[in-house]
Structure 1
Amino acid sequence: MSRMDLLVRRAMFEGREVDVIVNEGRIVEIRDCSAEIDLEEFEQVEDAYGLQLMASMTDVHVHLREPGFEYKEDIRSGLGAAAWGGFGNVLCMANTSPVNDSASVTEAMQEKANIYWPDGPRLFPIGALTKGLKGDELAPVAELRDAGCVAVSNDGVPVKNTDLFRKAMDYAANFGMTVIDHCEDPYMAVGVGVNEGEVSDRLGLAGQPDVAEALQVSRDVLLAEYLDIPIHLAHVSCEKAVEIIRQAKARGVKVTAETCPHYLLLTDEWLAEPENEYSAMGKVNPPLRTERDRQAMIAALNDGTIDFLATDHAPHGMHEKEVEMDVAPCGISGLDTALAATWALVQDGTLSREAFDRAWVTGPAQTFGLPVNRFQPGDTADFFLFDPEEEWVVGPGTMHSKGKNTPLAGATLKGRVKTHFLAGKKIV
């Protein structure tokens, strides 16, 4: 009798201690831990020592910066941060240099991933919606799809021309590709990275109002309804946008939406705290909003109006962030911190476990047709062992990403990935 590939012993799963049997990259069985199991029946045995068994997560919004900005991040370091962060599938945005608007760039990204992380995390590029992200001419969507792109987006450069955007949605849908849109009015304080309101007034900073996001969400929802094709809305941050999405879903519009951990954890008041005042570590686009918006994001994620989470991992060099607010780039490095930060919300009852699993595991995989592990026989054996009690301080010595730019720097988080398997192979 041939031996099975892998046995994971004594892992905690749904409140009980279990053994996990894996063969040919798939889950064979999860059963209550038994002292009678014959270890000789397995090629590899991993003792979990009571660590928590969790399904690998998917991040649909990551900036890996390669090609062109490798000093901020590269595919090797970014996927390393993903592996240690619990992510098995990573979708990377097209705002590289050159822009990922051709098969050659897409294939070069995948080649680098295969060289440095042959067993995963799996890299799924997102192609540019328009050539050079300039918003003038549609990118070759069919070519990008055939090269391996799973979606298209103009990312942080919203398409101003509504007629062109409508044609782009229709064109992409013809090739089975969903458009991911960064919802920001292209004329209203673009990219300032600070919410317009009491805090921006108090600090004397230029701000962008939440209506700038809501206007573009409205446009996209109406186009999706008119065309009867899907649209995915990136990094939703405000209550106004949530209400538009909620109403659209009630009408049957094919809209999905994500938000990010920082919109669940922080508000624009972070910028006004004495130790953070004018710190660009909290400058992000869309900006950190109000407490009312934060509560709306949590409620929307819990009730399914927001379909899932994404990090919008945007690494920058520290020399770029440690400057005046008005010249610093927007963005937060998030792959290292997302799991522990959002798991804390489950632990304190803010976020349901069902919402957490949908947000990081089933929701994004279902929307973009990616591998997913529900721990059923035959599922891909993508999982990690997690120590929910290990405390660590966020900082350069504990982050795997090159990007150390996070407003959580110095914070103590609880929970660490100890080892990670994809298709039954240990990647870290």
Structure 2
Amino acid sequence: AAMGGFTSIACMPNTDPPIDNAALVSYIISRAKEAGRVNVYPIGCISKGQKGEELAQIGELKFAGAVAVSDDGRPVENALLMKHALQYANMFDITVISHCEELSLADGGSANEGVMATSLGLRGITPAAEEVMVARDVLLAENEGVPVHIAHISTKRSVEIIRNAKARGAKVTCETCPHYFTLTDAAIEGFNTNAKMNPPLRTEEDRLAIIKGLRDGTIDVIATDHAPHHVDEKNCEFALAANGIVGLETSLPLCITYLVDTGVLTLNELLKKMCVNPANILGLNKGSLSAGRPADIVVFDPKESFTVDVNSFQSKGKNSPYDGYVLNGKVKYTIVGGEIVVNQGVLL
């Protein structure tokens, strides 16, 4: 994280065991303070064991230090349970982050439904698998008058649903990830498992719609969806390979190269989506350089280019589709709580 310029990260609860109780939240906070170089904020489960059957103790998770609740990696399929989660989370002033995937529509697929999946003989995932759930959770939140944050949107229609909801005054925020505005499903050609993720990479039309959503403010946040995997989890049949890519060490330069250098966003607009908005959504006293705020700072050269080399990653996971890419935006210093943890691009 520090090598990528991140001073704070929020860890998802799709762990073993899932982060569904206060004791685990407290343990993660304590362990992170002992071992970590950056600030780690745990996200608790919406449902016990991420099983989607019974709500976790959302209030206890909040009081223990969780900054949000999510069943990320799995959708909350029961609409009534999600409605109750939104209500309880609002009572305790904690954000609900929704992983939007209708599993019956996803139908066990492994790539975006389209020409590429068909040509490779892969079972496709219809974009509607994401969009139906986005629409459901936006409407649930709107009807209750409570906030919801939609994770990692990837399709044109998801952007449109959220744009329209915001125009109606719904308290919805959302995020996307660098891979959804830099890559399309063409990246899986040759059964490239390093380009397999959930949601899957989509079409060029979807990619352009994501960029438009970033430009017009529909999309509030750019998140990494960092998901490192052992080589054995990727070096297998495409349908069996684990979903996800490492993102922490490439996200900032990808955003600079594909959004700032192309004129989609100004640097200040980018920093708002990567720093200010995430902090506000999670209720953190961070995200800006001002008196009284923590001295969490990244110093980077937006013009310095470098070639991505996965073998140089600090992450144990090397599963990145960007190996060999030439990007702009080299991290020079990362300062956490006033202490330098990365000096001239070297982790201390």
TM range (shorter): over 0.9
**1:375, distance to aligned residue in structure 2 (A):** 3.1
Equivalent residues of 2:13, 2:44 under 8 A apart: yes
Equivalent residues of 1:279, 1:322 under 8 A apart: no
Cα distance in 1 between the residues matched to 2:113 and 2:266: 31
Cα distance in 2 between the residues matched to 1:239 and 1:399: 32
Cα distance in 1 between the residues matched to 2:220 and 2:11: 19
SS at match of 1:188: helix
Equivalent residues of 1:311, 1:338 under 8 A apart: yes
Structure 1 segments of 4+ aligned residues over 6 angstroms from their partners? none
Match of 1:353 in 2: 267
Match of 1:297 in 2: 210
Equivalent residues of 1:192, 1:285 under 8 A apart: no
> Is 1:156 the equivalent of 2:73?
yes
Cα distance in 2 between the residues matched to 1:267 and 1:352: 24
Task: Say what the alpha-carbon RMSD is for the aligned residues.
Answer: 1.5
SS at match of 1:397: helix
* Deviation readout 1:91-127 (Å, 9 max, x if unpaired): 100011111111221122112211123xx52111000
Within a 5 Å distance, the mapping from 1:35-184 to structure 2 comes to 82-117=1-36, 120-184=37-101
**1:286, distance to aligned residue in structure 2 (A):** 0.3
SS at match of 2:333: strand
**Which AA in structure 1 matches 2:316?**
K
Q: Decide whether aligned partners of structure 1 residues 415 and 353 sit closer, same or farther in structure 2, where only a CA change above 3 A counts.
A: closer
Equivalent residues of 1:318, 1:405 under 8 A apart: yes
Q: TM-score, normalised by structure 1?
A: 0.77
Within a 5 Å distance, the mapping from 1:355-370 to structure 2 comes to 355-370=269-284
Q: TM-score, normalised by structure 2?
A: 0.94
Match of 1:287 in 2: 200
State which of 118, 122, 140 in structure 2 corresponds to 1:223: 140
Which structure has more relative contact order (CA 8 Å, sep 6+)? It is: 1
Match of 1:326 in 2: 239
* Deviation readout 1:304-360 (Å, 9 max, x if unpaired): 100010010011001110111011011111001101111112123233324312211
* Deviation readout 1:207-264 (Å, 9 max, x if unpaired): 1011111100110011011100000000000000110000000000000000000001
SS at match of 1:112: helix
**1:415, distance to aligned residue in structure 2 (A):** 2.5
> Is 1:244 the equivalent of 2:161?
yes
Cα distance in 2 between the residues matched to 1:318 and 1:260: 22
Match of 2:149 in 1: 232
Larger radius of gyration between Structure 1 and Structure 2: 1
Match of 2:345 in 1: none
Percent identity, aligned pairs only, is 46
Cα distance in 2 between the residues matched to 1:104 and 1:349: 46
SS at match of 1:187: helix
Cα distance in 1 between the residues matched to 2:50 and 2:64: 18
SS at match of 1:127: coil
Cα distance in 2 between the residues matched to 1:286 and 1:313: 13
**1:378, distance to aligned residue in structure 2 (A):** 4.1
Q: Greater helix share, 1 or 2?
A: 2
Q: Decide whether aligned partners of structure 1 residues 114 and 379 sit closer, same or farther in structure 2, where only a CA change above 3 A counts.
A: closer
Match of 1:50 in 2: none
SS at match of 1:241: helix
Cα distance in 1 between the residues matched to 2:24 and 2:287: 30
Equivalent residues of 2:154, 2:176 under 8 A apart: yes
**1:195, distance to aligned residue in structure 2 (A):** 0.6
Cα distance in 2 between the residues matched to 1:248 and 1:349: 27
Q: Greater strand share, 1 or 2?
A: 1
Match of 2:346 in 1: none
Within a 5 Å distance, the mapping from 1:268-417 to structure 2 comes to 268-272=185-189, 277-345=190-258, 346-417=260-331
**Which AA in structure 2 matches 1:201?**
T
